[in-house]
Amino acid sequence: MSILNNGREVAILGVGMHRFGMFPDSSNAEMGRIAGLAALKDAGLGFKDVNAAYAGQIFAPVMTGVRVMKEFGLTGIPVQRLDNASATGSACLYEAVGAVAGGRYDVAMVLGFDKMTSMIQDSTAGTDPANLEDAILPAAFFAMWATRRMHERGTKVEHLAKIAAKNWNNGARNPMAQRQSDKPVTYEKVLSSRMVAWPLTTMMSCPIGDGAACAIVGTVELAKKLNPGRPVVKVVASALQSERYDRGHLFMGPVVGPGRMTVDTSAVCYQQAGVGPKDIDFVQVHDAFAIEELEYYELLGMCARGEAEACIERGDFELGGRVPFSTDGGLIARGHPGGPTGLAQIWESTLQLRGEAGKRQVENARTGLCQMMGGGSVCVIHILQKG
Amino acid sequence: MSDTARARRPLKQGYFTVPEDPVEPPKLLGTLCKDCGEYFFPRRAVCAKCLSENTGDALLGPQGTLYSYTFVHFPLFGSTRMEHVGYGVGQVDLPEGPRVQTPLAGKQEDFTVGMPLIAELEPIREDGDKDVVILRFRPTTSAGGAR
């Protein structure tokens, strides 16, 4: 049984972001401070009210977590740095939610930041030939999901391009998105972009970027007290799983999956929240490549096995559709700096549930699901609900 | 060919054999769990399935079946010998059970899901009088057939 079902009710008290993008002149400390102060202000709290902090980062050197937290002041609180690849920010949130539910802290700050651009500049050109696994790029790994899917289900490249175009167009409505196209992106344009690993093109793939995002986690009781006029955003499910062994398991390469992990993790979350896929109004996923979002439609139970392609053709997952996915642009358009990515999903979902998502608002949004994968691999899912 | 064959060494030790005879296909260095019978690649000490420590070395392949593939439009790391127009990558099911990800020999149109493959060694650069080789798989006409 989860601590969420036995412990205190937990809420997202506030959220804040530094836009994702290429910011060579901004430091992790600067971006983290901007996102963190925005989240505190949104919550109606000061840093003196924060009992503990979880700093999520993948690429920054040792000590960066605790050093960035000094931007807010030195109050002696516990600061922990956590890394779980792409799922870093989500994994930090998982720890904070458990700690607040269990009564260890009343207010926890979850801050994710990264500078993927400087990581790329610092590394030597190309991949490391001493590491056999480096022959398999993440794009190649997910391209093989696509090839297998095409073989089994007759998926067309147009289906992948339509997912990417949707996310580009959602991103254009999000001021925090890295990619904000000034005119609508067609699936033909996605298909004509440069090939990375067949059948995945650059516009079907997430960009490299920098950025920061923050969520302040506390009790529902406190949320009601701090902002009495505002809907409370409750965390009604929080789960993290690593892989279970099945034959065919890949032990080498930039591995994410198998699909069973998303199925299992979402099943735990649906049980914790007492909801099913039909109750979910909008979803954020780890769409680092368009084929991933297609698979997650089915793995999260948002459509039956084999029906994703028909749903894409009907527009089920677009804004205004049955269950909008990647409403903020997803990793493909909002961006994917690393540490903050999962917290950008929480930023978006919190705004959606409060009715503050502007041009990308999902009507009558009451329950949202956020799924992240971290290479290696892990799956983290949270379900947020308007209280 | 054997008269002029150069000595070879693996890019990284511990993953595949480098046969003396250049015509002989390499095998993959894996592990067998002596309690539950599951095979693994690469080598590991504890069985991932039944958690037994009663494991031993096993040679896997060289045959395989293509589970999925792609063609990457970037040069393979550090290669001065392989074509720079890109390279194939496959998920290959070995007859013993493990699935491995390796580069593939050939062009995109040469690959189909479910096709039989055979392991081979490909030089990617020279190191003194030796060729530094990596493991890859090549489409073959029949399971177990040489090229």
Mapped onto helix, strand or coil, the DSSP state of residue A174 is: coil
Q: What is the arithmetic mean of pLDDT over B11-24? A: 94
Cα angle vertex A133, ends A130, A138, to 5°? 130
Indicate yes or no: CB of B72 within 8 angstroms of CB of A137.
yes
Residue A337 lies in a domain: no
Residues present in chain B in total:
147
Instruction: Give tens-digit pLDDT for A319-364.
Output: 999 999 999 999 999 999 999 999 999 999 999 999 999 999 999 9
d(CA B16, CA B134): 9
Task: Look up residue B19 and give its two tokens.
Answer: 């046969």
Residue A182 lies in a domain: no
Strands A79-82 and A52-56, by their bridges, are parallel
Residue A26 lies in a domain: yes
The rounded Cα B96 to chain-centroid distance in angstroms is 14
d(CA A362, CA A281): 8
Q: From residue A373, give the alpha-carbon distance in Å to each of A381, A387, B13, B93, B145.
A: 9, 27, 31, 24, 40
Residue A112 lies in a domain: yes
From the list B40, B68, B87, the residue facing A148 with the nearest CB is: B68
Instruction: Give tens-digit pLDDT for A169-216.
Output: 999 999 999 999 999 999 999 999 999 999 999 999 999 999 999 999
Phi, psi of A366 (to 5 degrees): -120, -35
Average pLDDT of chain A is 94
The pLDDT of residue A274 is 97
Give contacts of A144 with chain B, Cβ < 8 Å: 67-70, 89-91, 101
Pick from A128, A144, A152, A160 the residue to mutate for testing the B interface (most B CBs within 10 Å).
Answer: A144
Task: Establish whether this prediction's ipTM goes over 0.85.
Answer: yes
User: Which residue of chain A comes nearest to B99, CA vs CA?
Assistant: A248
Q: Is A195 on the interface with B (CB under 8 A)?
A: yes
Residue A348 lies in a domain: no
Residue A34 lies in a domain: yes
State the residue range of the domain holding A77.
Answer: 3-119+208-226
Q: Which of A153-162, A378-387, B50-59, B74-83 has the lowest mean pLDDT?
A: B74-83
| Among A residues 81-140, those touching chain B with beta carbons less than 8 Å apart | 126-132, 134-137, 139-140
**Does the structure show a pLDDT above 70 at A366?**
yes
Number of domains in chain A: 1
Residue A181 lies in a domain: no
| CATH for A94 | 3.40.47.10
Q: Is the pLDDT higher at A132 or at A226?
A: A226
Confirm if A302 and A280 have CB atoms less than 8 A apart. yes
What is the per-residue burial (b if ≥16 Cβ within 10 Å, else e) of B29-64?
bbbbbeeeebbbbbbeeebbbeeeeebeebebbbbb
Residue A160 lies in a domain: no
Give domain limits for chain B: 7-139
Instruction: Give tens-digit pLDDT for A28-65.
Output: 999 999 999 999 999 999 999 999 999 999 988 899 99
Q: From residue A136, give the alpha-carbon distance in Å to each of A263, B113, B116.
A: 25, 18, 21
Instruction: Give tens-digit pLDDT for A232-253.
Output: 999 999 999 999 999 999 998 8
